[in-house]
A and B are shown apart, each in its own frame.
Chain A
Amino acid sequence: MHYPIGLLFDLLASSSALPWNITVHFKSFPEKDLLHCPSKDAIEAHFMSCVKEADALKHKSQVINEMQKKDHKQLWMGLQNDRFDQFWAINRKLMEYPAEENGFRYIPFRIYQTTTERPFIQKLFRPVAADGQLHTLGDLLKEVCPSALAPEDGEKKNQVMIHGIEPMLETPLQWLSEHLSYPDNFLHISIIPQPTD
């Protein structure tokens, strides 16, 4: 599975000194670990499938299916050319939700941990509780990854990182999904051990 580079940095190198030195390999592709994308089209297809998966969770795919082919293209071209306005003109629609509801159907998120073998956690999670209260980041972690949270009185052992920052656990999940999702429309959350120094 391909991770966004920002996520890789958070997950693997957030404590290392900048600039991040990466080693580029041109031989011996790890075929059994990673899906090999032979062409640019394959990468595009992979990206679009992520966006579609996210919209399936958010709107039962209604928004993405109503879009035209050229909109999909613009989404990809915007990302490829680093044209945020072009990208956002389309992505904006994916971030909307009906006014009578308080958020998406489910929040597309993935939680990554360096400490486990499991690549990531992904479950169905609604942004709004049954009583109308907005779920927060803390609620999500409590539900799907309680080990990431520090015990009530215990020491904080993990950092919950999104885009290189640690949002407060009180942050509403819906807001995070709207504003801190990656271009593939997923909220990629990395749980990394608290640096000891």
Chain B
Amino acid sequence: MPDSVLWAVDLFGRVYTLSTAGQYWELCKDTQLEFKRVSAATQCCWGIACDNQVYVYVCASDVPIRRREEAYENQRWNPVGGFCEKLLPSDRWPWSDVSGLQHRPLDGVALPSLHWEWESDWYVDENFGGEPTEKGGWTYAIDFPATYTRDKKWNSCVRRRRWIRYRRYKSRDSWAKIPSKDDPKQLPDPFNDLSVGGWEITDEPVGRLSVWAVSLQGKVWYREDVSHPNPEGSSWSLMDTPAEAAQISCGPHDLLWVTLWEGQALVREGISRNNPKGSSWSVVEPPTSENGIMHVSVGVAVVWAITKDRKVWFRRGVNSHNPCGTSWIEMVGEMTMVNVGLNDQVWGISCDDRAMYFRQGVTPSELSGKTWKAIVAGRESDRSHSGSSLSLLSAGCFFGDEVRGSGESCAPSDTDASSDAERPGPDQPVPAESLDCPGDPKGSSASGPGTSRTTEHPAEVASPATQTPRPEPRPGPASTPAEVPWTNIDLKEPKKTPSHPVAGLPETTGLSSLEVLPLGLEEPYGADDHPLWAWVSGGGCAVEAHSVLKWFSVQLGLSPSVQTLSLSITPAQTAAWRKQIFQQLTERTKRELENFRHYEQAVEQSVWVKTGTLQWWCNWKPHKWVDVRVALEQFTGHDGARDSILFIYYVVHEEKKYIHVFLNEVTALVPVLNEAKHSFALYTPERTRQRWPVRLAAATEQDMNDWLALLSLSCCESRKVHGRPSPQAIWSITCKGDIFVSEPSPDLEDPAHPLPCDQMFWRQVGGHLRVVEANSRGVVWGIGYDHTAWVYTGGYGGGCFQGLASSSSNIYTQSDVKSVYIYENQRWNPVTGYTSRGLPTDRYMWSDATGLQECTKASTKPPSLQWSWVSDWSIDFSVPGGTDQEGWQYASDFPASYHGYKTMKDFVRRRCWARKCKLVTSGPWLEVAPIALGDVSIIPESPGASGNGHSVALWAVSDKGDVLCRLGVSELNPAGSSWLHVGTDQPFASISIGACYQVWAVARDGSAFYRGSVSPSQPAGDCWYHIPSPPKQRLKQVSVGQTAVYALDENGLGHRQQSPGEPQPEPGNRVSSHGRAAPRTQGAGLGLRHRGWLGSHLHQGQCHQGPQERVPGDSRRAERGAGSPQWARAGGRRPAGVARPHLLLRPPPLTWKREWCPV
């Protein structure tokens, strides 16, 4: 799980973040401003600063936010001057937008705000529908507006070309002011509260957010067009409200609640994908009439509220269909505010001590959680005195040192008054002590103040004291900072309830402690004080049920954790005691065993038997599961080598029989999990040829894992495969996401007798991936179904392999998420329109994609018992062909090609429903956060080339289509350090790097590109060359070898281009201005031995349709060109062409050739 952060504001307006992996509050990088509100999403945080302006803080990322500006240059032919800018009076502008209706001269296109910068100058787009135009980008037509073609014809009277320029958002990791001046309606008054949410409503456009704000006059505003590529949004629009709003909260999905000054809550109804602003308001009354709602916070399906008497309330029965819920439940604790974050987790700030609490035990089944637990993480600034915002309190800084020196003597004196008067009130228990009872301050304060604790009191006194001069928003006395941001709730509330302990305190002691106040403010940086919080936002903070947070205990210097989270334990990281134990054990072994090696074994040969009961998929027809007894016999030979035989005893026609399998012949052991059975398949070369593995099923998952681990261990022992896979190992993934690895034997690539691939031994490694990619230096990367990038840690085992079959370290939790799709089908009839009543010949009204299987919402189960549902069914709008607003796709009949709009001829329609399921396993994989990937490629290297000190070239395509180059990848640091973004004109789909730094890529529109001048010293190369695709083919995937490039088109057909290397520099080929260097001829790779299993990538795309029972053992044949391929994708050093004779063809260079490929 990637780290995410919790945002909070303390009483002084300083913004802090706390990482889920961290244990310290870190001061926000941009400390220029003080804030009164923050509201976070995963990728950014919105806030209202002390100047009452709205700011957005966009988190830095290796991938820039870039937007394309386009303008079209239009020309008409006239007999005199040929094509020229002189157009007819009825024509469009010579420079226009795509429609031609708007005048758009190049120099008239301006940056939307100060936070953008131009990436480059304007240039002509040479790419037309995936093909280079080669003629300065011009496209021709008979007249405007019309269909444009690439080639000039006799009747081409007009032409146009597209100019492109990119702008880049530059204000990242800093607070960028949202400009308000260019709004159509000037904002009447400053904002009072703001809330960000709505990211789960739709993914279109990417990273779309709903930003809502409330102004001091009680009006509600909505920020238009906020999304990842447009983080600032475009303008504020006013929403009508029936009464004056005080505070607002927007959930990740369709919940939006507003509190009114009168104490009721307003609930927005009708928020949906098509109408993210909602349609109407309804009113919810507060829990008790005397105490109105003061604060509200909503999640996906929860609403938490605070009433004026500080009580915390949970709204029962809230969901999308009933956003108002049914009733209030009172919760324990008194809070000034609560905030609901991701996964409906809840944080609160208590009103007594301003400490922050996390609601523990919030799960989907128990949304109200169990207890409040205090977050006692210290501040990073407590150690390093870098609180720059403190410069305002310059007086304090002056005396700070003196105070710290004599803290113990002076502190008690000025806290006596306050602590005597208000002992139960602001007293804050020492963090490590029991804090589960915020409602019982007396109990916790009874823990007894020690001398170290008294140093806290100045701060306790200080904070309310600084508030007191400013109940009204006017400048306070000179001793306090002039502009103080947090003026409303924090300060008004104490006024309203003067009987409250906190509010009472400043009145009694405020003035008297004013002189020592700055000293007190400085003091927290030396003492182990806790911060005083004003606001918290968990909208970007993903706390998952199984994760362990380090927020709740004080970490003192040395971390007691024995588990090291590093990739490998190097001696420097190992504690002395641990080293000594290993050293002593080694010595003891030497002393007690080595000297007695010559002693004979008392027992020379041991036979060990494990027996059990399993089910076996019987050999004879009708095939069915039959109960069998199995016995694994292990014996140790004289040479110490172990070997094993598996016996399966069965009864047929009342006759006892058995079959046996020598485990040294087993080539793969594959778990075959489906909805009902825990089974696995055992392959030998013979059985692979017969396509009939031994299939066994166990009663429970644990039982199966025990057998699988034991059998796997026995196979590895008999083949003497131990420990982690070698760097040269070949990695592969099954269509189910299981990971297998094979050690290449020396004769694997023997030209005379290559090892038949059905004899390769594959062992399983824990984890779940969709793509794996490896090179010969042991760098292995994978991509999960949810596009998460993973890097191999050097361990082995994990998953179902426990104990000896697994390494003790480097195994981590891994999770993956994928969607299950079903289709709702309807047929039109003249009476009722589209209904769920089809013709008798029709497919099921709820079916899978093919229509052959009935799949209803209720009956569809996750793919296997390993998976569990994590979401509800929702309509998938992102299906190819497009959909209408309700997700329907239309066609004339089943099965047909579907389109997203209704025509007269459409008699059937369907829509796709998706539901996410999640698998949690373990394996030697660590996440490479935060960018999700679609494809990855690592440079293949021969073992001889290692140790040259170069980092390993690794290229990837993000799930959004950005091309990325990883820096700093090496054997010691396989995860690398950072991404380098490589600009492209369009989203990419596939990438591959060959051994000589030839980088090829395929864009989503099917065009192929070559990246020029990539070398160890210039890892990102200089520019893209557009390589014409094979005629009328849209490429989907590409793979580079040393003398050939393979590509796969949309229909699954392979294409091959010989002699990759730098393509001939043609001026028209350069398709973007991302680099300017002149191409050089490289002449790479030719004549070297061909390496690379070039066809391996070609198999992807077929792998999802395989029936549940298929197992990858089948697929060995697929690689040889028969049967149905089951490997999703192979990685690794990819030994040269195992039996691929067609690689001998040699067409002329730089042409695509249709390649036979098993489909």
Contact = CB atoms under 8 A, between A and B. Distances in A.
A167 B610 contact: no
A19 interface: yes
Interface stretch (B28-36, B362-370, B588-596, B929-937): B588-596
Given A85-B713, A133-B560, A164-B592, A170 B554 contact: no
Nearest to A171: B577
A168 B577 contact: yes
A134 interface: yes
Taking residues whose C-beta sits less than 8 angstroms from the other chain, chain B's interface range is 20 to 34
B585 interface: yes
A130 B1073 CA distance: 63
A166 B583 CA distance: 11
Interface string A68-92: 0000000000000101111011001
Contact of B588 (A89, A164, A172): A164
Contact of B580 (A99, A134, A167): A167
A103 B736 CA distance: 36
A18 B709 contact: no
Interface in B543-580: 546, 548, 553-554, 556, 560, 562, 575-578, 580
Nearest to A87: B803
A30 interface: no
Given A89-B802, A170-B576, 9 more contacts: A18-B592, A19-B596, A85-B713, A92-B802, A132-B553, A134-B562, A164-B588, A170-B577, A171-B578
A102 B560 contact: yes
The 5 closest A-B pairs by CB, nearest first: A165-B584, A168-B577, A171-B577, A134-B560, A85-B804
Interface string B699-718: 00000001001100100000
B904 interface: no
B591 to A, nearest CB: 7
B548 A99 contact: yes
B432 interface: yes
A100 B580 CA distance: 29
Nearest to A81: B608
A168 B576 contact: yes
A41 interface: no
A172 B562 contact: yes
A96 to B, nearest CB: 11
Nearest to B587: A165
A180 B592 CA distance: 18
Contacts of A168: 576-577, 580-581
B610 to A, nearest CB: 7
B577 to A, nearest CB: 4
Interface in A152-194: 163-168, 170-172, 174-175, 180
B548 A88 contact: no
A184 B577 CA distance: 24
Given A100-B548, A166-B584, A167-B577, A88 B804 contact: yes
B432 A131 contact: yes
Contact of B706 (A89, A166, A172): A89
A9 to B, nearest CB: 9
Interface string A104-133: 000000000000000000000000000111
Nearest to A93: B802
Interface string B1033-1073: 00000000000000000000000000000000000000000
- Most chain A CB neighbours (cut-off 10 Å) among B546, B556, B578: B578
A171 B581 CA distance: 9
Contacts of A102: 560
B580 A89 contact: no
Contacts of B432: 131-132
A71 to B, nearest CB: 9
Contact of B591 (A18, A84, A132, A166): A18
Contacts of A84: 804
B1070 to A, nearest CB: 55
11 contacts: A18-B595, A99-B548, A132-B560, A163-B585, A165-B585, A165-B587, A167-B577, A167-B580, A168-B580, A172-B562, A180-B581
Nearest to B585: A165
Given A18-B591, A164-B592, A168-B577, A85 B560 contact: no
- Which of B562, B576, B610 is most buried by chain A, counting CB atoms within 10 A of its CB? B562
A132 B562 contact: no
B192 to A, nearest CB: 39
Contacts of A86: 610
A88 B577 contact: no
B803 A92 contact: yes
Interface in B588-613: 588, 591-592, 595-596, 599, 606, 608, 610
Interface in B820-851: none
Nearest to B579: A168
A8 B466 CA distance: 70
A163 B595 CA distance: 18
Nearest to B584: A165
B400 to A, nearest CB: 29
A134 B562 CA distance: 10
A164 B584 CA distance: 9
B556 A133 contact: yes
B596 A18 contact: yes
